[in-house]
Amino acid sequence: MQKLALSTINPTHVDEISASKKEPDWLKQIRKNSFAIYESLPPEVSPLYNKYTDAKRMNPSEVSLVTESQNAIFDALKPRLAELEKEIHIIQAGTNIFRINLPEDLKAKGVVISSIYDAIQNNPELVKKALESSDPKEDKYTALNNAAFNSGIFVKIPKNLILDKPIHIVSCISPDGTSTISKNVIVAEQSSKASIVQELYAPKSTSQQAYLELLTVDAQANSQLAMTTFQAMDQSAVNFSTRNCTISQDAKITWYLGLFGSMLSRYRTNYYLDGVGAYAEDAEIVFGDNEQSFDLSANLIHKKQATEGKVVQRSVLRNKSKSLFKGMIKILEGASQSRSFLSGRSILLDKDAKSDAIPGLEILTNDVKATHSASVAQVDEEQIFYLGCRCLDRAEAERIIVEGFLEPMSRTMSYQVRAWIAYLIESKWAGRDLVLKSDENLRAIVEVEEVRYKEADQIETHYKYR
């Protein structure tokens, strides 16, 4: 398939993708059916959200697609990849898998980290189950991903295996100006445990590039997944992500999401609590400036009894940036004794910044606890004045207020995640490249965060230096 704009894609091009990858008939049919649905749906399906969404800021005539992009990494990202060389990782460059590092002993135990195309050959049942679990009628871009994905990542943690080290997933758009539609699948089998860190990057570009993702997570019975996502793409890029998480009996998913880059971020996350005792916790941090737009949707769907879900979102907005937070708690019949919490809060640092929040509840049974809240406020001038009396200028005062605004979320994170988030916020505030790297700034932040909430360590340090 030659380079073409998303606005011109048609069924013939979808067939070319299938033919180039020699895909099985069941996948060809999924692509065909999904493309017909993609063409029929508007950018925002819900009439309630339609007037708020900025999804139309993605220009389909600028977003270019190919079957195979340039297999290269842009220069600013190379130091980060060098740091990860000995870690467990998979690196996606455009439509290609640039590098995989998986120790032989983990391969022998059944851990799989591969491209989605290798998984279609070696684990077709798991991939087919993941594709069939996503309903293309729910969202236009879910349908597009099912129809036209040109890349993807597959991770499987085998039954009863506990991974001590995290799996790093790094995805970057190709420097050749093309976009990526990625089908990503993560499977945590029964009683397994793992942590996964996902990083998204994009090079500077004069035209729109896009990373359009559909990520399916299957947390099987009694498994535990600790997920962390950092989106640090250049502000010329667009990032759409749909995340469908099925959580079985006594399984647990915690997900920390930090959105810092791209001109337009549209994240739709669905947690299907589909087993007794299933648990989901989602913490989302947004830091926007210039004319960035963040469109976030988080849905907790309680399908079985005694399940628990929690979503907490915080947005910090500068200049003319804007955010939209849409959340829904659904507790279905038969999901009694469930508990659910949904909260979205925003702080506006400039008069032209804007934030909207639309939380909702849909309760279809009794004996449950569910609550939701939302708030939007400008920075408190009295706090600015108070800090100014302590010889801090306005910029320094705003940074301290932002740290206090985000602090309640920090308590549930590991010190490493807190350090990464603090580093990216500091980098963005200072106008530096948004790439994680172990420089002096990060090491200093890690040293602080490692003991932040360890009161015993703080007391010991106090007596040590008396």
Q: What pLDDT digit, counting tens, does each position of 69-101 carry?
A: 888 899 999 999 999 999 999 999 999 999 999
- 35, 166, 44, 171: which is closest to 111 by C-alpha? 166
Contact of 182 with 152, CB cutoff 8 Å: yes
Using CB atoms within 10 Å of the CB of residue 164, give its burial: 0 to 12 exposed, 13 to 18 middle, 19+ buried.
Answer: exposed
Amino acid at 397: A
- Angle subtended at Cα 146 by Cα 94 and Cα 358, rounded to the nearest 5 degrees: 95
Asked if residue 411 has pLDDT above 60, the reply is: yes
pLDDT band of residue 52 (cuts 50, 70, 90) is: confident
Q: What local confidence, expressed as pLDDT, does residue 461 receive?
A: 54
Residue with tokens 């939007």: 376
Residue with tokens 């004069």: 206
Q: What local confidence, expressed as pLDDT, does residue 426 receive?
A: 84
Query: pLDDT over 90 for what percent of the chain?
Result: 64
pLDDT band of residue 31 (cuts 50, 70, 90) is: very high
pLDDT band of residue 246 (cuts 50, 70, 90) is: very high
CA–CA distance from 26 to each of 244, 299, 343 (Å)? 21, 29, 40
Asked if residue 466 has pLDDT above 80, the reply is: no
Using CB atoms within 10 Å of the CB of residue 230, give its burial: 0 to 12 exposed, 13 to 18 middle, 19+ buried.
Answer: buried
Query: pLDDT digits over 107-164, tens only?
Result: 999 999 999 999 999 999 999 999 999 899 989 999 999 999 999 999 999 999 999 9
Q: What local confidence, expressed as pLDDT, does residue 155 receive?
A: 97
Q: Is the pTM of this model over 0.75?
A: yes
Q: What local confidence, expressed as pLDDT, does residue 257 receive?
A: 94
Beta strands at 193-201 and 167-172: parallel, antiparallel or unpaired:
parallel
Q: State the Cα–Cα distance between residues 446 and 267, nearest whole angstrom.
A: 28
Average pLDDT over residues 37-56: 84
Asked if residue 465 has pLDDT above 70, the reply is: no
Name residues whose C-beta falls within 8 Å of residue 425's C-beta, 6 or more positions apart in sequence: 260, 287, 402
Q: What local confidence, expressed as pLDDT, does residue 460 receive?
A: 54
pLDDT band of residue 231 (cuts 50, 70, 90) is: very high
Average pLDDT over residues 247-266: 95
Q: What local confidence, expressed as pLDDT, does residue 212 receive?
A: 95
Query: pLDDT over 70 for what percent of the chain?
Result: 97
Beta strands at 237-247 and 96-101: parallel, antiparallel or unpaired:
unpaired
DSSP code of residue 162: B
How high is the mean pLDDT of the chain? Answer: 90
Contact of 316 with 287, CB cutoff 8 Å: yes
Asked if residue 403 has pLDDT above 90, the reply is: no
Quote the tokens at residue 146: 């099912």
Query: pLDDT digits over 375-400, tens only?
Result: 999 988 888 898 888 888 888 888 88
Q: What local confidence, expressed as pLDDT, does residue 433 receive?
A: 80
pLDDT band of residue 242 (cuts 50, 70, 90) is: very high
Asked if residue 456 has pLDDT above 60, the reply is: no
pLDDT band of residue 40 (cuts 50, 70, 90) is: very high
DSSP code of residue 380: P
Q: What local confidence, expressed as pLDDT, does residue 270 receive?
A: 96
| Of 34 and 444, more confident | 34
Asked if residue 463 has pLDDT above 80, the reply is: no
Contact of 394 with 429, CB cutoff 8 Å: no
Average pLDDT over residues 164-178: 93
| Of 213 and 65, more confident | 213
Q: What local confidence, expressed as pLDDT, does residue 457 receive?
A: 54
pLDDT band of residue 454 (cuts 50, 70, 90) is: low
- 345, 351, 355, 298: which is closest to 323 by C-alpha? 355
Q: What is the CB neighbour count within 10 angstroms for residue 464?
A: 7
Average pLDDT over residues 311-335: 94
Residue with tokens 């997570």: 217
Q: State the Cα–Cα distance between residues 462 and 380, nearest whole angstrom.
A: 33
DSSP H or E run through 396: helix 394-410
Contact of 264 with 57, CB cutoff 8 Å: yes
Q: What local confidence, expressed as pLDDT, does residue 255 receive?
A: 95
Q: What is the CB neighbour count within 10 angstroms for residue 175?
A: 20
Q: What local confidence, expressed as pLDDT, does residue 17 receive?
A: 86
Asked if residue 367 has pLDDT above 90, the reply is: yes
pLDDT band of residue 64 (cuts 50, 70, 90) is: confident
Provide the CA 184 distance to its chain's centre, in angstroms.
12
Q: State the Cα–Cα distance between residues 96 and 440, nearest whole angstrom.
A: 32
Contact of 303 with 329, CB cutoff 8 Å: no
Quote the tokens at residue 102: 């998986």
Amino acid at 101: N
Q: State the Cα–Cα distance between residues 257 and 165, nearest whole angstrom.
A: 19
Q: What local confidence, expressed as pLDDT, does residue 455 receive?
A: 52
